[in-house]
Structure 1
């Protein structure tokens, strides 16, 4: 198994640590292997995962490395009940990730990433996984601590931060589709006293993809500086930049006939088929963010923390989409041109005062916080005609006129202020968690319909209380049952096709589960049953002429259970196993025919297992082998008229520690990873947004890394 940064490295923010299974782990720092025991995502305090009354799963940097994940969605492939890559291999977004059937909210270092408000996700941040220490999945409503968020849960990504012990790593990667990638990760003290630490992480990639004419070129750079003027004060500045150019369209929709269903005349469409026009299509993305994390301890029991981040995201996109199904000849596909200019600027601020104290036999960890979020987004759309294409034998090169911005312009402002409080109360082995929050959320939108020259303005002024109550009992054996109740509140600046504002989405969840971290074994087990109900759910507009718009339904019910096991029972062996069951149903709707339908893209069954082993002694010492199986059950489109079949995929890995070959190679490792080893052909989704999406074909990556 790939080994992470030694757990003795000091994180950028000093937190109390507890030695679990011999690991000095804290909520913000690295994890050696696959099993994390502490997290701040579920409580905003450094807390053992056993004591948090919600399900939390942690994907560590070692797992990302061992499985060769190239996106955050790929890194979540073996996490229970999480479905990423919904829009297939051609998608350039992680925002379409589902948790317990609902769209996940994306956070970085505990602060919400911009979601574009009015841009229907086009400017949602994309995070490079090489720049992450861990990815944490918190299931269930989490508005109490984080403000507006959905009922399924959130994904909180933890950036790599400066280390007190020097770290130097370089990587070279090649593989399928002409991939050439280089990366580096450098960290350590700047001064002899270790009061100033740095970390510089970068990645550059030139690569094609499985789809003709779609590239995957990327430039990423992140700089972090930690200043510790005293033992009580820490300031970490975090900044990063991501750039993508000429990636063509963010999606590649293909007709149902020839992908999901057999074409009566022609063969099945290959993974590589491109429905756009390479001479016209374009996709440019720029992301910049800068912020800081500050902490000061007034005493051993009282501390203040403040996190701030400013983000500026923009995309320029033009391309061709399929327009309807195949014509009567079963090969001609009509197309239409579109163009999108979108940008989002967001400022997030989170202040927290934490106190630890006793009242008689009760031990308290109390938290009082105030956070603020401001987001301004712009979304300009143009549409125009384009030539058709013989999709089974395409000839590219047809001229396409850039439509400009001739359809719609939309601007949105979102302001949210929240004040929250939490108390984690311990009595013997009992832990009760009570949280409450009040939000003030204001949104303003201006929709200008270019054709008729009409402008629609809308605004909302929402106030809401959200809360969470949970109770856990931690046995000496490491067994911890719990129950919890939580609510969520999610205002949105998005509007319907006519520009009318949507009502806030609200939800509640009941959850009961068990967590287990056995003594003497580096392992963790989480299992939970849950019942979620969400009101005012959004769904794609059923009118094909409004394919980019959404409408608001009534109530959705999701019930089920999920279980995940992570273990390293012996040196060199790592195991991950997960399973999730979902029963989704629309229980109330403004469209009567929708009642009883399933949520789109939410599989009823989903499971996976991964294992790897590195030989510890003998003639094969240093060799490692691994493999995994992923199963995703059948799903439906939004109208529930199209069923997407289940699929099973196999992954494999082989690695060698070159230091076992000769001492001069110490620190060098070579790995080869194959994803979808047997090149299973599968469809990830079909919907009223034009067409079906193909999944990722077999991809082989070879990586040479060197640490010193």
Structure 2
């Protein structure tokens, strides 16, 4: 691994080939009534270089060789426009197009541009103005087309097969998605705000999600406090300015019924006031008895264009869930993993449901001072309110007897955020600058009551070898909620307040072919967890280098430091220290065949100090943590995504991960494996659609997921069974026209017994995945 690092660094520092003299081109596309025209294809006649206009009608093409060109502007179904332009070395030429059609007429045109399976840019919520190809970091985007084709309904429903090295190690069904990458938990973001909590957020429903961005490696500088393993950023749907709608109905195994509606349009004739409304309703049961989940969501968005430079957007999201006891997904036994049938359950039909109201409000203001400088300010309030219970075991015995114990679990998770940042693009002599600077403010509070427990069984009254349901020995719990949650939550209270200041300058040399990123962040954090106050102030630098080998490929290197506060309780009473560490990463990126598909190869090493892990000495009901001395995680990741040939799209990835303790502690020795990852993860999703003839619109899909040498989320006692390798095969068939899409997918085709779990104390527990199951969806666009 070290040799590979040296080779990559040598490549980056010694690449100084003969570069042709180049310049750049920018401009804006408008309709005949002066409205921005998005999704217009811009290209150089007779050359492969090109791009598409964004939602503001703007476009930029870099690294154009010096000379005279004819620029083409094309929109599906409309006549192609042409203009001539001269590209001068080191200069930015400007050219604008005005279409003959009005904005309303453009609404009626079906737009199909580029590859629906890959993205060249990230959302503005990531703050970067740099194309993904030129960014010195591994960034992967899961597009809305991918989410739809795989019939993904929530953040915990198959999303991670599309990202190298990502997995769900420990979770509570569909309550929240705990995503692990590069050896530890990835931070959860929504529209650029860190919404991560110990038990949250509630899994985002895909009905209001536009796409999902995965940023590998430390992203704390970019966003806020975050793990050095990376983040995932859920980007919600916004108004597009086009009048359109979409309705979907999905039916599936285990009484799965789901309906969604997406409305997008204008609220006034001028088009200054826009709206987007997404509504979802869903109900489903499970292959396990007494397990269910009912959900609905409402997500209205209103956007107002104050003037030609300023846009104000307000967004509200409500998610409601009514589900069976959140601990009932697990099975316990002393004989080993999967020692009971897949459909076995410890749940009881008479337990009250857990109900969750998850709400958020986001206000976003964007102002363009000119074509080179942009200000973004946003503020948000998140409120997660839960009333329910969980279930764990008070005793697991060799003869099969299990004492089931239900605990109250009422929780309130409130967080407030404010962000202001500026993006700039300037030229100083031969050097091109992409400037980013801003401030982050955040306040998070999580309180919970799980202090009251109720045993359903006495020893011997419930046996997993001969279970009897419906009449637990002690009956069902009735929890006392006469006091408010704040009065009851005297043992679990987590508060975090932080301020972050950051600045970045990406310096472009040799007509922006070599880009040097210099950045720094100052973070001030105060955290009160379980009565223990932790404070921290730290400056963390960031240095990146990206070099374009040609117009479609680049190599990069990155050095970054991290600083993350942690929550937990150590058995000795010792204070929990924040995570500190550094990351070294190098990689190669390439766009193939006129940007239709791309590949990314990255190598990394992450060193972390003071990482927390579950204490292997925990007895039933205990949740103490260990503070590890120093850990090192290193690995290789490879991603490919896009349209390989016309009609054939592929998403495939592989990751090798190795994480171990490099500085021993009082309880863990040097060289011990850090839990929470799989050494080998490989995924693929292949989709083919017939483009002509009698079978036009017919599509076929197949996907595989593999995890090898899996570790559990917690240190396991010596001599216990390891988790087996994981392999899953999925596939489907679909038909698509301009208006209708009908799709049927089958998951776990081989009907394998798939599960995750851990050897814990004197027993094992595991959570099984569904057997072979299917979904049928009907989608109509109007």
Fold-level match, TM-score > 0.5? yes
* 1:64 partner SS: helix
The 3 A distance-change label for structure 1 pair 127 and 559 is same
Larger of the two Rg values belongs to structure:
2
* 1:17 partner SS: strand
The answer to whether the 8 A contact 1:76-1:82 is kept is: no
The answer to whether the 8 A contact 1:383-1:407 is kept is: no
The 3 A distance-change label for structure 1 pair 66 and 43 is closer
* C-alpha distance in 2 between matches for 1:197 and 1:498: 57
* 1:146 partner SS: coil
The 3 A distance-change label for structure 1 pair 19 and 426 is closer
How many residue pairs end up in the alignment? Answer: 669
User: By how many angstroms is 1:498 displaced?
Assistant: 7.5
* C-alpha distance in 1 between matches for 2:669 and 2:350: 41
* 1:395 partner SS: coil
The answer to whether the 8 A contact 1:275-1:320 is kept is: no
1:473 aligned residue: 547
2:723 aligned residue: 644
User: By how many angstroms is 1:202 displaced?
Assistant: 1.0
User: By how many angstroms is 1:42 displaced?
Assistant: 9.6
Q: Larger relative contact order (C-alpha < 8 A, sep ≥ 6)?
A: 1
Correspondences of 1:102-251 after superposition (within 5 Å): 102-115=184-197, 121-250=198-327
1:668 aligned residue: 740
2:26 aligned residue: none
- Once the two structures are overlaid, the 10-residue window that deviates more, 415-424 or 680-689, is 680-689
User: By how many angstroms is 1:461 displaced?
Assistant: 1.8
TM-score by length of 2: 0.81
User: By how many angstroms is 1:602 displaced?
Assistant: 0.5
The answer to whether the 8 A contact 1:12-1:234 is kept is: no
Correspondences of 1:244-263 after superposition (within 5 Å): 244-250=321-327, 252-257=329-334, 260=337
The 3 A distance-change label for structure 1 pair 239 and 259 is farther
The 3 A distance-change label for structure 1 pair 247 and 498 is farther
The answer to whether the 8 A contact 2:260-2:280 is kept is: yes
2:672 aligned residue: 597
1:450 aligned residue: none
The 3 A distance-change label for structure 1 pair 38 and 526 is same
1:285 aligned residue: 356
Please, which of 166, 174, 178 is the counterpart of residue 92 of structure 1? 174
2:468 aligned residue: 395
Give unpaired runs (5+ residues) of structure 2: 1-36, 42-51, 63-71, 76-111, 482-487
The answer to whether the 8 A contact 1:104-1:152 is kept is: yes
2:147 aligned residue: 64
* 2:645 partner SS: coil
User: By how many angstroms is 1:471 displaced?
Assistant: 0.5
Q: CA offsets per residue over residues 242-282 of structure 1, 9 Å max, x none?
A: 00013321552212556626xxxxxx423322212231253
* C-alpha distance in 1 between matches for 2:56 and 2:498: 29
The answer to whether the 8 A contact 1:345-1:376 is kept is: yes
* 1:144 partner SS: coil
CA RMSD of aligned residues (A): 2.7
The 3 A distance-change label for structure 1 pair 38 and 250 is farther
1:488 aligned residue: 562
* C-alpha distance in 1 between matches for 2:357 and 2:251: 24
Is the counterpart of residue 584 in structure 1 residue 663 in structure 2? no
User: By how many angstroms is 1:19 displaced?
Assistant: 6.7
User: By how many angstroms is 1:541 displaced?
Assistant: 2.6
User: By how many angstroms is 1:86 displaced?
Assistant: 2.6
* C-alpha distance in 2 between matches for 1:159 and 1:421: 26
The answer to whether the 8 A contact 1:80-1:580 is kept is: no
User: By how many angstroms is 1:216 displaced?
Assistant: 2.2
* C-alpha distance in 2 between matches for 1:490 and 1:198: 37
Q: CA offsets per residue over residues 181-204 of structure 1, 9 Å max, x none?
A: 110001012212211110000110
Correspondences of 1:500-511 after superposition (within 5 Å): 501-511=575-585
* 2:160 partner SS: coil
User: By how many angstroms is 1:670 displaced?
Assistant: 0.8
User: By how many angstroms is 1:169 displaced?
Assistant: 0.5
Is the counterpart of residue 628 in structure 1 residue 703 in structure 2? yes
Give unpaired runs (5+ residues) of structure 1: 116-120, 262-267, 448-456, 660-665
Correspondences of 1:213-362 after superposition (within 5 Å): 213-250=290-327, 252-257=329-334, 260=337, 268-325=339-396, 327-329=397-399, 331-362=400-431
Q: CA offsets per residue over residues 2-31 of structure 1, 9 Å max, x none?
A: xxx99459999748434799999xxxx998
* C-alpha distance in 2 between matches for 1:189 and 1:30: 23
